[in-house]
Amino acid sequence: MQKNDTIRIINLPKIEDERGNLSFIEEDNHIPFHIKRVYWIYDVPGGEFRGSHAFRESEEFIVALSGSFDIIVHQGIEEKKFSLTRSYYGLYIPKLVFRRLENFSTNSLALILSSTLYNEMDYIRDFKEFLTLVK
């Protein structure tokens, strides 16, 4: 898959038959990075939000495996909202994007594929610092 820095919805394969549906993700094929880490967010209380940070290096691909939630992204100019409501597509987020996950439905499950191992030093948690960095 061609590398580019655009935040974008990526559609995944959806194999349908009478037994139900199956989708899958292959690194370098459906998403433009090597997968170093997988984590998931679940049991989010109503009204709670997650994220509220950017990464210096990490790229991520986020799928709503179950339920739905919104992802608010900011690259330095304006906010944009993506609603994830089905498990056969996801949102690709390149590095240096401030993001917030919110509006989680009951029993929603967010699957996140990351291009890096966990490293707290990769986080930019201060929005003003983020803006300074991307300008």
Among 83, 118, 129, 132, binds ligand TYD (CB under 6 A): 118
Residue 53 annotated among the catalytic residues of the structure: yes
Residue 31 or 101: the one with the smaller Cβ distance to ligand TYD is: 101
3-class secondary structure per residue, the chain: CCCCCCCEEEECCEEEECCEEEECCCECCCECCCCCEEEEEECCCCCCCEEEEEECCCCEEEEEEECCEEEEEECCCCEEEEEECCCCEEEEECCCCEEEEECCCCCCEEEEEECCCCCHHHEECCHHHHHHHHC
Count residues contacting ligand TYD (CB under 6 A)?
Answer: 6
Residue of 8, 16, 13, 14 whose CA lies nearest to 29: 13
Q: Using the rule CB under 6 A, is 35 a contact of ligand TYD?
A: no
Q: Using the rule CB under 6 A, is 61 a contact of ligand TYD?
A: no
**Which of these ranges, 1-9, 10-18, 33-41, 83-91, lies near ligand TYD under the rule CB under 6 A?**
33-41
Among 39, 42, 81, 85, binds ligand TYD (CB under 6 A): 39
**Which of these ranges, 3-11, 17-25, 36-44, 86-94, lies near ligand TYD under the rule CB under 6 A?**
36-44
Q: Using the rule CB under 6 A, is 41 a contact of ligand TYD?
A: yes
**Which of these ranges, 16-24, 34-42, 59-67, 76-84, lies near ligand TYD under the rule CB under 6 A?**
34-42
From residue 111, alpha-carbon distances to 25, 43, 123 in Å are: 11, 13, 19
Q: List residues near ligand TYD by CB under 6 A.
A: 37, 39, 41, 50-51, 118
Q: Which of the residues are catalytic?
A: 53
